[in-house]
Chain A
Amino acid sequence: MTDKGKHTGAVSRRGLLAQTVRAACGAGVLALLLAVPARKRAEAVALRPPGAIAADDFLSACVRCGLCVRDCPYDTLKLSDIGDGQPLGTPFYNARSVPCEMCEHIPCVTACPTGALDKSLTDIRDARMGTAVLVGQETCLNFLGLRCDVCYRVCPLIDQAITLERHHNERTGKHAMFIPTVHTDKCTGCGKCEKGCVLDEAAIRVLPHNLAVGVLGAHYRLGWKEKEKAGKSLIDGIIDLPDRMPEPPAAMPSPERLPGGGFKEFKP
């Protein structure tokens, strides 16, 4: 640059311009690449399409072609951009925007060329896209004692995935509350309940299954289930000791009465 500058002013100006352009481009590249993660927003719950294989395996199979998105008749599925909550370009849906309509023939799964959506899913009721949880127990209208029932009514598996359970209304003391109750063994996570919730922010929402129901440690055994499985108690020969009832209290010495009518101060 400086060598060239010695010859003519024109070359120097040209060189300077070129250098400026290069520097600007270099800074621009960095700025644009930084802007990608910087645009990441707080992540919404982004659910995978029906039949999606385990989250750990999904990215080994999904080529992000969007064929599932194309064949989704309700425009439920989208391809993720930064901030949508799933890795760039992978399919997802947001139940509050557009829930899964649980098509009988599951076209998204049929469209998948790689097996990221598992074709062994043939009955949409077996899909587990997530699990609904009634998170807003302080805002849900049914919890407040009203009969909203919308989540229950819109559930494609009404009376199976969501039932209304009657509870006593402690606040009024005389009414009933009909509590929408999700049955995790039936809920597909379609999100119709979350979409239907009449509140400004849905009180019921679909979460990934493990977040919704928790995961019991693998070493836990439920005694009553083990007993049921075995058909008998798992430990033989337990001696059934007689039940000991609390003995009647021993007679306490009656406190000494003072002549004035009171009791004498007790000093142990």
Chain B
Amino acid sequence: MSAELHPGRTKALSQGWLAAHKWLLARRLAQFGFLALFLTGPLFGLWITKGTLAASLTLNVLPLADPMMVAQAFLARHVVETSALVGAAIVLVAYGLVGGRTYCSWVCPVNVVTDLAAWLRARFGLKEGWSLDRRTRFVVLGGVLVASAATGTIAWEFVNPVTILHRGLVYGGLFTAGSALLVTLALFLFDLGVASRGWCTHLCPVGAFYGLLGSRSLVRVTARRRDACDNCMECFAVCPERHVIAPALRGKSAGAGPVITSRDCTNCGRCIDVCAKNVFEFGTRFRNGLDDVDHIVPPAKEGPGNVARAG
């Protein structure tokens, strides 16, 4: 029970609060940092990045654009201009290397909202809920692309909560109780009371797109010290995509390497944070042999294990 309600508590008690939250802190800093780049201009007149996550211009030289949006525009029979094409290419390459869904947990502002919902859910023990298939997001992505082609518009932008929230933050609409606030609150309540990790893990087509984009990415979490695992289940409790862990953590008998290779992994690093046995760390996809696992004498099991709750 305590593992599910308070993942990371064991580690915090033994190694300190900071050790159990360092990647979470880093992520929040990154999320607010990326937001700050957009906000120094309107707030203090110091322009670093203009635009939104859809398309931006940093220091008047670096264009960035969301490749999913450029793809939708293309399907809507509009070839975007060079600036957005270059921007989308840079984003494609960057996330292709560091992991597509790194966008989700290190940049996307919605992640803060849904993480808060998930945290409250765990705290209040709200376990049940509408169970969605996590592949639904690919169906949504397919629908979005078909809709773009059929209607000749960048279809997802009519409802995209990611850019609605980001625009609301950057252009101030969030604070005037406009649609940005309404949509964000709806998303929060959906994740809190309707479906566990409902949006980011099951429905969001942007995450699905970035997941596909990072299918072969280099930066990965690896369970290098998996031999030290004592099956406390805290990593599973904290992971937003818990199906990604087992193959790496428990794949020894199947001959699988220690690297989490699933495209769904968001590189959020929470498993690294909460693991009292320091099983996980960031690495690359290349060190995925059985030799790349630290051989550790398995610790004596303390109390009854809860292996049966795996997955």
Contacts and interface: CB of A to CB of B under 8 A. Distances in A.
Interface stretch (B48-56, B213-221, B275-283, B292-300): B48-56
B39 interface: no
B304 to A, nearest CB: 21
Contact of B182 (A32, A56, A114): A32
A115 B81 contact: yes
Nearest to B173: A81
Interface in A14-73: 14, 18, 21-26, 28-29, 32-33, 35-36, 39, 56-57, 59-67, 69-71
Contacts of A113: 51, 55, 57, 63, 65, 80-81, 83-84, 87
Contacts of B87: 113
A89 interface: yes
Given A36-B179, A65-B51, A22 B81 contact: no
A62 B52 contact: no
A115 B57 CA distance: 15
B129 A114 contact: no
B135 interface: no
Interface string B220-249: 000000000000000000000000000000
Nearest to A40: B179
Max chain A CB contacts within 10 Å: which of B54, B79, B179? Answer: B179
A176 interface: no
A88 interface: yes
Contact of A114 (B55, B124, B158, B171): B55
B182 to A, nearest CB: 5
Nearest to A71: B50
Interface string B60-82: 00010110011001001111110
A88 B84 contact: no
Nearest to B192: A25
Contacts of A39: 178-179, 182
B234 to A, nearest CB: 22
A64 B54 contact: yes
Interface residues of B, number: 53
Contact-residue bracket for chain A = 35 or more
A87 interface: yes
B193 interface: yes
B203 interface: no
Given A18-B126, A114-B84, A59 B183 contact: no
B73 A87 contact: no
B167 A29 contact: no
Given A26-B193, A60-B153, A79-B173, A65 B80 contact: no
A112 interface: yes
Contact of A115 (B76, B78, B186, B189): B78
B152 interface: yes
A119 interface: yes
B73 A114 contact: yes
B84 A63 contact: yes
Contact of A65 (B55, B158, B194): B55
Interface of B: 41, 50-52, 54-57, 63, 65-66, 69-70, 73, 76-81, 83-84, 87, 124-129, 152-154, 157-158, 163-164, 167, 170-171, 173, 176, 178-180, 182-183, 185-186, 189-190, 192-194
15 contacts: A18-B128, A22-B126, A25-B189, A25-B192, A26-B193, A39-B179, A64-B54, A65-B52, A65-B56, A66-B50, A66-B51, A81-B173, A87-B158, A111-B57, A115-B78
Given A28-B189, A61-B80, A115-B81, 7 more contacts: A18-B126, A25-B190, A35-B182, A63-B65, A64-B163, A65-B56, A114-B70
